[in-house]
Structure formats: C-alpha cells, structure tokens
Structure 1
Amino acid sequence: MSPWPLENLAPILVLVMAFCEAIVLIGLFVPLTPLLLALGGGIAAGAFAPEILVWAVLGAFLGNLASYCLGQRLKAKKRGLPRLPSRVVERVELLFERHGAAAIVLSRYLGPPATIAPFLAGWSGLSWTRFLLANLVASLTWPPAMALIGYAATLGWRWAPIG
C-alpha cells in the first residue's frame, strides 16, 4: 500500500486547483466549477467529508489575493495590462463601475470574469480592506454554493425511481 493514498492528496489537489482557477489568465484554463460539483456529489455519497470544501475556500482566497497583488504590482511598475480577452475585460470593468468591491463577489459567480476581477481590482486601486472583505465573502460562499448543487443533484439522483 502506498504511503500517499489518493484520499490524503485530495485536499491538496483541491487547494491547488482552487488557487490556479483564481489566478489571472491561468484560471481560464483551470475550471473549478466541475470539481466543486463533483465534490458535492462525493460528499452526498459519503466519499468525502464536507471539510474538504475548506481547502477550496482557502485556495480561492489565496489565488484571488495573488491576482490582486499582481495587479497592484504591475500598476506600480507602470506596465500595461497583459493581453486579456477584451470581451472579458469590458464585462469586469462594467461590474466595477456599477458595483465597486461587490464586483469581486458578483464576478465569482459569472465564470471567466472571476479570474480577471481580482487582478483588475488591484490594477484599478481598489483599497486593500475593501478587496479583502469582498474576497472573503466570495471565497466563503462560492465553493459551498457550487458543491451544494452537486450534493443536491446526487441526492436527487438516488431518490429518482429507476425503471
């Protein structure tokens, strides 16, 4: 038997996936939603303890924080924005105009803007405290909300009459 069973690696893998999904640009290629849906199903089936979601929350929070700091750093060095899909940047900028720090929370539920919003928040000069509060709310609510969908779907599937 291996000294590193897969179940022991699961929390680390969830943390790394959540972190990568929250990093600007990288997150466009590392979707976390399917994993969270599957984790919710795994929790419903008894394969995972609900505490595994703590790792997703932590990874999302740290990834968003890293993107925010990168945005601040590039702005301070007077570097231009990296090449981002203009459609996504426009959507995120519109979110910031309309909703300020709440755009961090809103973007988390909108897919691709979630990977760009923390970076643009740092770039735009959103205050550290406003960003941290919004990041905390987004990171605490989004992973459990997505897992809850997978959880409910799994329980619904088990209750569905077959045949």
Structure 2
Amino acid sequence: MSLANDVGYPALFGLVMAESGGVPVPGETALIAAGVLAGQGQLDLALVIVVAASAAIIGDNLGYLIGRRGGRRLLERPGRFATQRQRVLEVGEPFFERHGPKAVFFGRWILGLRVWASWLAGITRMRWRSFLAFNALGGISWAATVGVLAYVAGDAVGAIIRDVGVGALVVVAIVLAVGLFLRHRRHAGP
C-alpha cells in the first residue's frame, strides 16, 4: 500500500473531526489534499467523501456535547475577557434561536463558524435533533462539494504550480487579498 493509503484516510478523519469539534486545525485543507490525491489515483474519492463527512458529523456532535455540558459555564465565569464572553451569549442566543439550523448547515463553509458552530449550538441549547439533521446535511454536502472540487481541480492546480511556480501563485494570492481588502474598505465606508 502507498503512504497516502496508509496515512491519508486516518489523517483526514482525525483533522476533520478535530476541527469540527472546535480545535483550530486544518481540517478543510486535509479534505482538499485528500481530494487532490484522489484525483491523482492515490486515494479513492468516494471513500474520501465518506471519511470526511463522517468525521465532520462526529466532530460536530462532540463539539455540541462539549458546548451543551460546559460551554455556558466557561462563558459565564468571571475573570479575564468576561465581558467579551458574555457578549458571545448575548449575540449567540438570539442568533441561534432564529438562524440555528442555517448556521449549522452553512457554517460548514465558513472557517470561524465551522470551528465553533457546534459549540455555540450546544451552548445556546439548540435542539439536538435539529442540530443533528442540519449538521449531517452540512457535513455530507461540504465533504462532497470540497472533495469533488479538489478532485477535479487537482490536476489543474498541479499544472499551474509546475508551469508558473509557487512564487507566482503567492503573488497572485497577495494581489487578490489586497484587492478584496480594498473593495471591502470602500464598501464599508468611512
């Protein structure tokens, strides 16, 4: 067996599950890398999607449980940053009451929300059945979408890196980031 087969699936599962549970690790990056490796024939795309979706669902449920059992106490405790933690509850509770299922589903595609949505859902006492359903739908669709896009784009990304070089890609990424920042500032106003 290849190194990708021996390490790829367990690493993908561990990173996606940890990120989904609230640990800031590169879970989505692992899924992208696994999709690219599947495009190169080193991993099986269907298995990549199943592993990533399962890890996302399990990790999110662990994060929900952590949030439900101890997250509120953590946010309400006195001490450093108590005001900011209280603000999380003041904003989070009404938000999750109105938009909880959407936040759980769409949060899969938003880095900050992907890492903390499960905790916030538990802390704000979102109904577990609703959480589970939207978490599963989000995890499956996220794993399939990102995995397939990485699978399809994998050869193109490899060709660009080979032909243009990593340095040119970094320059393009910086130019795009600066352009997006300037656009955001212009639209945000004074």
TM over 0.5: yes
Deviation (angstroms), 1:16 = 0.8
Does residue 31 of structure 2 align to residue 33 of structure 1? no
User: Aligned residue for 2:43?
Assistant: 48
Q: Which structure's CA Rg is the greater one?
A: 2
Show structure 2 runs of 5+ residues with no match.
165-190
Q: Deviations over 1:12-49 (max 9, x none)?
A: 2211111111122x1x2x02222211211111111111
Deviation (angstroms), 1:8 = 2.5
User: Aligned residue for 1:144?
Assistant: 144
Show structure 1 runs of 5+ residues with no match.
none
Kindly report which structure 2 residues correspond to 1:1-150, keeping only aligned pairs within 5 A, or say none: 7-24=5-22, 26=23, 28=24, 30-50=25-45, 51-74=47-70, 79-81=73-75, 89=88, 93=92, 96=96, 98-150=98-150
- TM-score normalised by length of structure 1: 0.78
Deviation (angstroms), 1:99 = 2.1
SS in 2 for 1:100: helix
- TM-score normalised by length of structure 2: 0.68
SS in 1 for 2:73: coil
Deviation (angstroms), 1:121 = 0.6
SS in 1 for 2:75: coil
Deviation (angstroms), 1:124 = 0.7
Give the conservation status (yes or no) of the 8 Å contact 2:4–2:43: no
SS in 2 for 1:79: helix
Percent sequence identity over matched residues?
Answer: 24
Query: Greater RCO between the two (CA within 8 Å, min separation 6)?
Result: 1
Q: 1:139 to 1:155 in 2, by over 3 A?
A: same
**Distance (Å, rounded) in 2 between the aligned partners of 1:138 and 1:117:** 12
* Structure (1 or 2) with the greater helix fraction: 2
Q: Deviations over 1:45-96 (max 9, x none)?
A: 1111111221111111111000101111116xx613287xx6xx59x83753
Greater mean alpha carbon deviation, residues 9-18 or residues 114-123: 9-18
